[in-house]
Amino acid sequence: MKDKFYITTPIYYVNDNPHLGHVYTTVVADAIARFKRAQGCDVFFLTGTDEHGQKVEKSAGKLGITPKELADRVVSNYFKLWKKLEIQYSRFIRTTDDVHAKGVLRLFDIIRNKGDIYSGEYEGWYCTSCEKYITERETEERRCPDCGKETDLLKEPCYFFRLSRYQVPLLEYYRAHPDFIRPKTRYNEVYSFVEGGLRDLSITRSSIRWGIPAPGDPSQVIYVWFDALSNYLTGVGYGTDDQEFEKRWPATIHLMGKDIVRFHAVYWPAFLMAADLPLPQTIFAHGWWLQDERKMSKSLGNVIDPMPLMETYGVEPVRYFLLRDVTLGLDSNFSEGAVRNRYNFDLANDLGNLNSRIQKLLSTAGMPELTRAVPVGPAEKTLEANYYKCRKTYIDSFNAYSPSRALAAAWEFITALNGYVTASEPWTLLKDAAQRPRLDRVLLTCAEGLRVIALFIEPALPEASRRIADTLGADHDDVWEFHPERAFKLNTSMKPLFPRIEEKREIKMEEVKEQPKETTPALENLISIEDFQKLDLRVAEVKSAERVPGTKKLLKLMVDIGTEVRQIVAGIAEVYEPETLVGKKIIVIANLKPAVLRGVESRGMLLAASIDGHPVVATFEGNPSAGTIVK
Ligand code: ME8
């Protein structure tokens, strides 16, 4: 039987249109789901919208339409966006669906019959924007600690959930399941929050009309979070299709932003315990995309609209950027320069060039013939071994929910194949008919290499993957095996995958700040070759990188220059996240006089081009070893 894998995203509020944060979670979930499908799992991927509550009611009121009309409008934008991004969800659930309400009522009834729901009166400071009461611990100024908005003192009769009863069972559960809440930082936060004591939770409101009425008491509407969290059950048949529910529940992973981890890691498991239902395997809270160090959010009005970004760079490059540029779990400052770099380096240069080189070779040389090809030699064996190593890291990383690391492994293989193409000099072989058997071996290896690259990139770049696979017409047995004797039915060549972005398209999105234009110097002040030879330029491998505290632009890098590891400082922090540089091969001037920048010593300088004021670090095609002289 296939392994079952059930993944969810949060269901998003419909008070406003989706922004890059929503795209992020959904793309990550989609990539993980695609990876698991490729591994042969029986995948169920649930996403949807959270349509009830005061926030939606208020937004609709402002627009002079009903909440349901607003929901329908915004939901259609979600549908369009997910289609464009090729999000392959199994089901899209809306909390206004009838089947959802049935499941919510069942859950409410079961918990009430158990004695864990009782009626009382609630008074507290309520943040309408975040739909939650603020605890005394969190605020002294009565402002919401998350969005900074003012809170209102509310007092209302309501039903309470006996959350306090679950403090000890929750703590025991966390201890017995250290991987229940991930990453570890979130586990620790949640653990100490629960350790600090849990008060009963009001789970209905009399002040709100837009929601599911509480069973047996229509004066009360079920609190939006009780309603919303239940979607993970109702989305797989709870209350309406018991067979489906038995098959799917519990979820393997609930993925969400760290803003809502408490709802998922405290309230939700407590509700499930109260209803005697099994708990999900993992609650994974990813970090935030920040703008100017603050969370990108609708309440703060600093969101990035994914549409123009996708128009400028294409849909797939945005997917790739989101998956690759930040480790799942960490925060990251959004910068368009980083999107552009990912596009130009990883997609246009590494993947796009490799694909064009191989496609061009195949179409010029014609079909390689297996029977004519020389046997696999040391270069092919090395490449094959490299593939298996990268594949292992790729699979382990995706299984550990680290798409960025998985993609880095895929790119390691892309670099290796690029190196293989260069080293085997196919264009020279092509000129000599006697070398045809050798050339056929090289071509077959290139085709096989490209084929496995198409598999590697599928979770991030489904369309590019399809296009590559289509041109190769490979047989699909043992897809994950690197097979030197695989047969291909090559199709005609294809258009470039990721053409380099032209300058004028690049700057469309960004606020263009006045920058002194860098001009290309005229051919004067010529230097002699001896002058040039004074420079000790070397290939250097970045071993570690970190920001220089208190500066916006400076990174401190430790680089291996072959003879030693030394420290250099570079003004590239606005464009490069430190961790993305580790492992990169760059060019360093090793015999530059040391300098001290903001108190940090720099012994050398890296080479970079400046494009519209943004540094683009010079790197290599292939993989030269550290210390190699650049001349
Ligand atoms: O909270 N960076 O819906 P919501 C990364 N309806 N991810 C972000 C982000 C950012 N700056 N901003 C938003 C709700 N997100 C509830 C959920 S679930 C039972 C109910 C993503 O529309 C992230 O996944 O406010 C975050 O958790 C979610 O959008 C919040 O979406």
What's the CA-to-centroid distance between 31 and ligand 1, angstroms?
A: 18
Question: How do strand 152-161 and strand 201-202 relate by DSSP bridges?
Answer: antiparallel
- Residue 61: is its pLDDT beyond 60? yes
> What is the band of 278 on the pLDDT scale with cuts at 50, 70, 90?
very high
Question: How do strand 294-295 and strand 289-291 relate by DSSP bridges?
Answer: antiparallel
User: Mean pLDDT, to the nearest integer, of 305-320?
Assistant: 96
Question: How close are the terminal C-alpha atoms of the chain, in Å?
Answer: 59
Q: Tell me, what's the pLDDT at 32?
A: 98
Closest CA to 316 of 121, 483, 477, 458: 458
User: Mean pLDDT, to the nearest integer, of 384-410?
Assistant: 98
Which of the listed ranges 94-108, 202-216, 611-625 does the model predict with the highest average pLDDT?
94-108
Q: Tell me, what's the pLDDT at 512?
A: 34
Q: Tell me, what's the pLDDT at 262?
A: 97
What's the CA-to-centroid distance between 552 and ligand 1, angstroms?
A: 28
Q: Which residues line ligand 1 (CB under 6 A)?
A: 10-13, 21-22, 24-25, 50, 228-229, 231, 256-257, 259-260, 288-289, 295-297
Strand partners, 160: 118, 202
- Residue 136: is its pLDDT beyond 70? no
User: Mean pLDDT, to the nearest integer, of 499-522?
Assistant: 48
Work out the mean pLDDT of the chain and round it to a whole number: 91
Q: Tell me, what's the pLDDT at 492?
A: 64
- Residue 141: is its pLDDT beyond 50? yes
Tokens at residue 413, please?
């293989």
Q: Enter the pTM of the model.
A: 0.80
β-sheet with 585-589: strand ranges across? 565-570, 555-560, 537-547, 585-589, 605-606
User: Mean pLDDT, to the nearest integer, of 584-590?
Assistant: 93
Please, what's the b/e burial string for 588-600 (b: 16 or more CB within 10 A of its CB; e: otherwise)?
A: bbbeeeeeebeeb
- Scanning the structure block, which residue is given the tokens 């039915």? 489
- Residue 551: is its pLDDT beyond 70? yes
- Residue 137: is its pLDDT beyond 70? no
User: Mean pLDDT, to the nearest integer, of 572-598?
Assistant: 88
Q: Tell me, what's the pLDDT at 524?
A: 55
Q: Tell me, what's the pLDDT at 127?
A: 84
- Residue 537: is its pLDDT beyond 60? yes
Q: What angle do CA 438, 443, 444 make, to 5 degrees?
A: 100
Nearest-atom number in ligand 1 for the CA of 263 is 19
What's the CA-to-centroid distance between 537 and ligand 1, angstroms?
A: 47
> What is the band of 519 on the pLDDT scale with cuts at 50, 70, 90?
very low
Name the residue at shortest CA distance from atom 27 of ligand 1.
257
User: Mean pLDDT, to the nearest integer, of 241-268?
Assistant: 98
Q: Tell me, what's the pLDDT at 138?
A: 60
